[in-house]
Amino acid sequence: MKAQPGNTRRLLMPTILGAALGLAACAGQPTRDETQARVDAAKVTLDNFVRDPDMTWFRQHVGQARAVLISPQIVQAGFIVGGSGGSAVLIARRDNAWAGPAFYRIAAGSVGLQAGAQASEMVALVMTEKGLNSLLSTTFKLGADVSVAAGPVGAGTGAPLNADMLVYTRSKGLYGGLNLDGTVISVDDGRNHAYYGVGTTPVDILVTRSVSNPHGQTLARVASNAVSGDPGDQ
């Protein structure tokens, strides 16, 4: 009996997501130096988005975001069956002060006519309390647990301000873009522990702020300067 496309898709999804989770995982135990390198890479990515002349709407509204999720590299690879994975860091705003970063894993699966490999960088503005609360949980799925929309480029007239998260991606390679609908985002306890030296949660890092790492303030400065309209010397 010939398998129906819908059945094929359902059968393949566990394999796809498993491969994506493998891409998101890092070999070996994370160290403070390794996690700091990820924060530094996230700082460069956020700085590039802030300075991009096409990111007018982004700069004008980052001050309204409850949090900013940054992934310097999401790797997507495959032929016919594809998966994507990577890591991300989150900073959250309260009373015009930014806290963080907290570390996360990203894993997504897709089925389609895909070929080659691609690395994308992503910055997502978390616009609602619901979106932030989802990131404070252990794991959630974009498009299912929170609403997600592509971030407007340029002036962004008619931007979907009702979305929980507005996602910007920039890609190099064979794909025109990265579809993050259905992406699973989960807390990276190992890297949070490595960066702060103790077992900790996103609530500890972003809400109660009971743990901190002074080297994480580089991200906060980029976000603060974006809000003020001054790129600064970051």
Q: In the predicted model, is pLDDT for residue 193 greater than 90?
A: yes
Q: What is the pLDDT of residue 66?
A: 94
Averaged pLDDT of the chain: 77
* Angle at the Cα of 174 from the Cα atoms of 172 and 178, rounded to 5 degrees: 70
H or E element at residue 109 = strand 97-111
Cα 99–chain centre separation: 16
Q: In the predicted model, is pLDDT for residue 227 greater than 90?
A: no
- Which residues share a beta bridge with 64? none
End-to-end CA distance of the chain: 61
- Sheet order of strands, 97-111 included: 139-141, 184-187, 97-111, 81-94, 67-79, 117-126, 165-173, 148-150
Would the pTM of this model clear 0.85, i.e. be above it?
no
H or E element at residue 44 = helix 32-51
Determine the Cα–Cα distance for residues 109 and 94; give it in Å rounded to an integer: 33
SS3 of residue 213 by DSSP: coil
Average pLDDT over residues 168-196: 77
Determine the Cα–Cα distance for residues 135 and 69; give it in Å rounded to an integer: 9
Q: What is the pairing mode between strands 165-173 and 148-150?
A: parallel
Strand ranges (E), 174-231: 184-187
Distances (CA, A) of 136 to 13, 104, 139: 26, 10, 8
Q: Which of 21-25, 79-83, 141-145, 157-161 has the highest mean pLDDT?
A: 141-145
Burial of residue 162, with CB atoms counted within 10 A of its CB: 0-12 exposed, 13-18 middle, 19 or more buried: exposed
Average pLDDT over residues 126-154: 86
Q: Which of 43-57, 101-115, 192-206 has the highest mean pLDDT?
A: 192-206
Q: What is the pLDDT of residue 225?
A: 80
Q: In the predicted model, is pLDDT for residue 228 greater than 80?
A: no
Q: What is the pLDDT of residue 187?
A: 94
